[in-house]
Amino acid sequence: MVWQRSIAAKAFPDIFSIGLSAGLLILIFPNFDWHFLAWIALVPLFLLIKRTRPAMAFWASLVTGCLFFGVLLWWTITLDGANPVNWILLVLGNAFYFGLFGVCAHYFQKNAPRWNFLTFPAVWVVFEYLHIHLASFSFPWGILGYSQYSVLPVARISSYVGVHGVSFLIVLVNIAVVELIFPFFSASCTRISPAGCKQSSWRTAVGIFVGVIFLFSASYLSGRSELNEERKAVNIKAALIQGNIYWEEGKDSRYRETIYETYRRLSLEAAKFEPDLILWPSSSVTGIIPRDLIMTGLLSDMARESSSFLLAGAGSYDKFNKKMRKEQRVSNSVFLFSPQGKIIGRYDKIRLVPFDEYLPLRDYIKWPSWITDSKITDYMPGEELTIFKMDQARFGVQICWENLFPDQFRKMTAQWVDFMVSMTNETFVDIPSAHYQMLAMNVFRAIENRMAILRITPTGVSAIIQPSGRITAMVKDNNSNALNIQGYVVGQIPLSLQTTLYTRYGDWFVYCLFAVIGGLVIVTVFRKTHTLKVVNP
């Protein structure tokens, strides 16, 4: 019994550290939005990594990741086709990156403790980047930087280094806190890593804090300048139409006329404010355009009646497209109608949702039924980024899943567009936190590229996001509810005046971190080899 109590007493601090870090990470994302906790959320886990062995560093980080993603993504189990097995696989797959971070961070802590202020945030960002760049298996949730979407002086740093740069800064502050307080824990860890315990540097930590404060101040002043730019910019007026119609209703032919009339009624109400552009969300049109001549005609009439450009999301099928005709597949598309009622632009979604809009590796893997339904019909992916042209402006559109990835969005903004449209269909989930997590990503897309975004979705959150990241308009009811409501909002958006460093060069900062980590690995391996040769000549 005494032995068992001794084991429990030794394990309790580790369990507490894991649970505390996971809990703090959960609180910094929607719906809690306690973003200020991000700057200390990883401190308990980092203290544990610094004073433990490699295997424990891996398992502690993995369990932290499991707890974090288990809560952050709990809404995914409510999705159509989800079950406990594939939900567990989703959580484990995301948490695995935490485990890899833990063992790598421990390696550098042991072999290059003086460089913890660089290695910990660099390794974190490298695994974050890999996390969302695995082709069909990319999953962009849980990126640390997104927690700061409402803290604009911090978020605006992403216009230079992307969202991963914000993650780097957060981890940097966390490790600085650890270096400040670690001497108080050093007595318990000298047996395992004496070098690491002696290398904690108060001067380094204080220097980091001074640098971070300077960076925040510069970002705040830059933000003030951006606000002035927005006021000076040429503006256009746009109307966001939120019909509050779920996907299941759209698939039922009995509701076809009702759905169209809902969007038409709201559009005509908004048209009284004379918007230049009226936007309907993804999948708001129940017909296949332009094959469905009746629905195409109704949309043309709608554009003429409103005297505005009309942008609407629909399935598309082009009989003149040989590949589409041969495979009998439709695309998830967006159509732009002129005020004269003509179709003047079309964009087919390029980046499809895996296991929903297409089945990854269909020709090579027979997926078991407890992971996915093998009868999924693949959509036809688009092949090129389309630029829509109005009288006053040029703009691009990204559909649903595409908005969550910085790279494709950046490529579109680099085509000299004046603003962007984020057209989504989030009716697959009815959990508020899921919607606001996706809104946070759109805020960063706006800041990264200094580009206004019109975000339109059937059930919310539909909003106008300024280039500075400010949300200036949102579809809401009289009780300020933005979800599961019907309505519209008309607002002004500034046309883009300049490009950002991030727009021009993308994730250059992350590539530099890859090089730094690679260089440090080479140095530490060489040092080990050289030491062995000296000891055993």
Residue predicted with more confidence, 473 or 362: 473
Determine the pLDDT at residue 2: 42
List every span in the chain annotated with CATH 3.60.110.10.
234-503
Measured CA to CA, the distance from residue 330 to residue 389 in angstroms comes to 24
**Mean pLDDT confidence for 220-246:** 75
Strand arrangement of the beta sheet that strand 419-423 belongs to: 388-389, 394-399, 419-423, 453-456, 463-465, 471-474
In this structure, what are the phi and psi dihedrals at residue 439, rounded to the nearest 5 degrees? Answer: -60, -40
> Which among 39-48, 130-139, 324-333 has the top mean pLDDT?
39-48
pLDDT tens sequence across 373-397? 767 778 888 888 999 999 889 999 9
How confident is the prediction for the chain on average, in pLDDT?
85
Contact 462, 455 (CB under 8 A): yes
450: region left, alpha or beta (phi > 0 left; psi from -120 to 50 alpha)? left
Burial class of residue 150 (count of CB atoms within 10 Å of its CB; 0-12, 13-18, 19+) = middle
Radius of gyration of the chain (CA): 26
What pLDDT is recorded for position 387?
A: 94
Q: Which two tokens stand for residue 121?
A: 């945030």
Cα–Cα dist 230/224, whole Å: 10
226: burial class by Cβ within 10 Å (0-12, 13-18, 19+)? Answer: buried
pLDDT digits (tens, 9 = 90+) for 243-266: 998 755 545 556 678 889 999 999
* pLDDT 10s digits, 485-531: 999 999 999 998 788 999 999 999 999 999 999 999 988 887 766 55
End-to-end CA distance of the chain: 50
Confidence of residue 20 (pLDDT cuts 50, 70, 90): very high
Pick the residue with more confidence: 31 or 42? 42
Percent of the chain past pLDDT 70, that is, above it, reads: 82
DSSP structure string for 174-233:
HHHHHHHHGGGGGGGTTTT-HHHHHT--HHHHHHHHHHHHHHHHHHHHHHHHHHHHHHHS
Question: Is pLDDT at 344 greater than 70 in this prediction?
Answer: yes
Backbone dihedral region for residue 334 (phi beyond 0: left; psi -120 to 50: alpha; all else: beta): beta
Question: Which residues fall within 8 angstroms of residue 287, CB to CB, at 6 or more apart?
Answer: 256, 294, 295, 296, 314, 315
Which of 222, 220, 223, 150 has the alpha carbon at shortest distance from 441? 150
Residues in the chain: 537
pLDDT of 534 > 80? The answer is no
Q: DSSP string covering 121-150, please?
A: HHHHHHHHHHHT-SGGG---TT-GGGGGTT
- At residue 304, the 3 state secondary structure works out as helix
Helix pair angle (84-111, 43-50), 10° resolution: 60
Residue 153's pLDDT is: 87
Confidence bin at 189 (pLDDT 50/70/90): very low
Non-local (6+) Cβ contacts of 262 within 8 A are 243, 245, 486
* Predicted confidence (pLDDT) at residue 198 exceeds the cutoff of 70: no
Helix axes 158-181, 432-449, angle to 10 degrees: 110
Beta-carbon contacts of residue 133 (< 8 Å; ≥ 6 apart): 407
In angstroms, the CA 277 to CA 271 distance is 9
Considering only 43-57, 138-152, 285-299, 325-339, which range has the smallest mean pLDDT?
325-339
Pairwise CA distance, residues 96 & 100, whole Å: 6
| pTM, rounded to two decimals | 0.89
What confidence category does residue 195 fall into, taking pLDDT thresholds of 50, 70 and 90?
very low
CA–CA dist 335, 326 (Å, integer): 23
Residue 225 has pLDDT above 70, yes or no: no
DSSP 271-301: HTT--SEEE--TT---SEETT-HHHHHHHHH
Q: Which residues contact 407 (CB under 8 A, 6 or more apart)?
A: 133, 506, 507
What gap in Å lies between CA 525 and CA 346, rounded to an integer?
54
Span 425-453, average pLDDT: 93
Query: Residue 205: which pLDDT band, with cuts at 50, 70 and 90?
Result: low
Nearest to 433 by CA among 27, 80, 107: 27
Tokens of 161: 């280094």
224 has pLDDT over 70: no
The rounded distance, in Å, linking the Cα atoms of 429 and 438 is 12
356: pLDDT strictly greater than 50:
yes
SS3 of residue 332 by DSSP = strand
Q: How big is the CA angle at 273 (ends 267 and 279), to the nearest 5 degrees?
A: 40
For the domain 234-503, what is the CATH superfamily, name and number?
Carbon-nitrogen hydrolase (3.60.110.10)
